[in-house]
C-alpha cells in the first residue's frame, strides 16, 4: 500500500466513527469511501449497529451488498442523517469539486438530503482554489453536447469529453444515469464557485455540475502514518 492509499484508508476508517446506531446513511463513491464501507461493515458485525445506506452509485451499491450493509432507496428515505463521501478537490470554505468517479448527480442529491456531510480525503485534495489540480466534471444529456460545449467555452472553461478506454457505450463514457461528462479545465482556477455553479445549471442540457457549494460540514484528512485531521466548517 502506497502513501496515498494509506492516507485514504485512514480517512475512510476514521469517518466510520461518526456513524450512530439507527442512522440512515448516504454512501458515497470512490476509493476513499471504500475503507469507510469496510469499517462500517466491521462495526455492524461487532457492535450490532442497525443502519441503512443510500448508495450514490451502482458500484457503491455492489460493494455495500457484498459487505452486508443494508441498503435503502430514496422511495423509502426523505432525510439522511449522515453521508460520507470523497472529493476531488476541497477548498478552505469547504466548497468542492466532485465527480471524478462519474457519480456527481446522485452524490449531490444525497448530499442535499443530508443533515451532515463528512468528506474524506488525502492531503493532496485540499487546495487553496478549486479547479487548480482537477478538471470540473459537468454531466450532460448526450443530445445537447455540442450546445453545452459551446456554452461552457463561453464561460471561460475548456471542456473535454470524457471517453474512457473500454467504455461500454459507442458514444463514449456514460454515467449510471446514461449521460455524458465534459471535464472542464479552468485556466486560472475557479474564482467564484457559487456563481459558476448557477451559470452552469442555467445551460439547457446540463444535468448537474461537479461544484458542491455549501454542502460539506466535516472534513477528515487522512495521512500516510494513519493519523487524521478532523475539521468542521466554520
199: β partners = none
52-55 sheet: strands from edge to edge: 52-55, 24-27, 82-85, 117-121, 218-222, 228-232
Catalytic residue, candidates 89, 107, 117, 139: 107
Output the pLDDT for position 168.
46
Output the pLDDT for position 129.
98
CA 128, CA 51: separation in Å to the nearest integer? Answer: 36
107 catalytic residue (yes or no): yes
Output the pLDDT for position 165.
53
CB 114 within 8 A of CB 82: yes
CA 162, CA 165: separation in Å to the nearest integer? Answer: 10
DSSP string covering 192-213: -HHHHHHHHHTSTTEEEESEE-
- pLDDT tens digits, the chain, 234 residues: what are they? 799 999 999 999 999 999 999 999 999 999 999 999 999 999 999 999 999 999 999 999 999 999 999 999 999 999 999 999 999 999 999 999 999 999 999 999 999 999 999 999 999 999 999 999 999 999 999 999 999 999 999 999 999 999 865 444 455 799 999 999 999 999 999 999 999 999 999 999 999 999 999 999 999 999 999 999 999 998
Output the pLDDT for position 232.
97
26: β partners = 54, 83
CA 121, CA 184: separation in Å to the nearest integer? Answer: 21
**Which domains, ranges and CATH numbers included, belong to the chain?**
3-126+214-226 (3.40.50.1360), 136-207 (3.30.70.260)
Output the pLDDT for position 234.
84
Spacing of C-alpha 183 from chain mean position: 15
CA 88, CA 13: separation in Å to the nearest integer? Answer: 18
Which residues are within 8 A (CB) of 148 and not within 5 positions of it... i.e. 6 or more apart? 138, 140, 159, 182, 203, 205, 206
Cell of 146: 455540442
3-class SS of residue 88? coil
Output the pLDDT for position 181.
97
Output the pLDDT for position 166.
45
Number of other residues whose CB lies within 10 A of the CB of residue 52: 17
Amino acid at each position: 500500500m502506497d502513501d496515498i492509499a494509506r492516507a485514504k484508508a485512514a480517512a475512510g476508517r476514521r469517518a466510520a466513527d461518526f456513524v450512530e446506531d439507527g442512522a440512515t446513511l448516504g454512501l458515497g463513491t470512490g476509493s476513499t469511501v471504500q475503507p469507510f464501507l469496510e469499517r462500517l461493515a466491521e462495526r455492524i458485525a461487532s457492535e450490532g449497529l442497525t443502519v441503512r445506506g443510500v448508495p450514490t452509485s451502482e458500484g457503491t451499491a455492489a460493494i455495500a451488498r457484498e459487505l452486508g450493509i443494508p441498503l435503502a432507496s430514496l422511495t423509502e428515505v426523505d432525510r439522511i442523517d449522515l453521508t460520507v463521501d470523497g472529493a476531488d478537490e476541497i477548498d478552505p470554505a469547504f466548497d468542492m469539486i466532485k465527480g471524478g468517479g462519474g457519480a456527481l448527480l446522485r452524490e449531490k442529491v444525497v448530499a442535499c438530503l443530508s443533515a451532515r456531510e463528512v468528506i474524506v480525503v488525502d492531503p493532496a485534495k485540499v487546495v487553496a482554489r478549486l479547479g487548480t489540480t482537477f478538471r470540473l466534471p459537468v454531466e450532460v444529456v448526450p443530445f445537447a453536447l455540442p450546445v453545452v460545449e459551446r456554452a461552457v467555452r463561453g464561460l471561460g472553461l475548456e471542456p473535454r469529453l470524457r471517453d474512457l478506454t473500454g467504455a461500454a457505450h459507442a458514444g463514449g463514457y456514460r454515467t449510471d444515469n446514461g449521460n455524458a461528462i465534459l471535464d472542464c479545465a479552468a485556466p486560472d482556477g475557479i474564482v467564484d464557485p457559487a456563481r459558476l455553479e448557477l451559470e452552469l445549471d442555467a445551460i439547457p442540457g446540463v444535468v448537474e455540475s461537479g461544484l458542491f457549494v455549501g454542502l460539506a460540514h466535516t472534513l477528515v484528512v487522512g495521512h500516510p502514518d494513519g493519523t487524521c485531521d478532523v475539521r468542521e466548517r466554520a
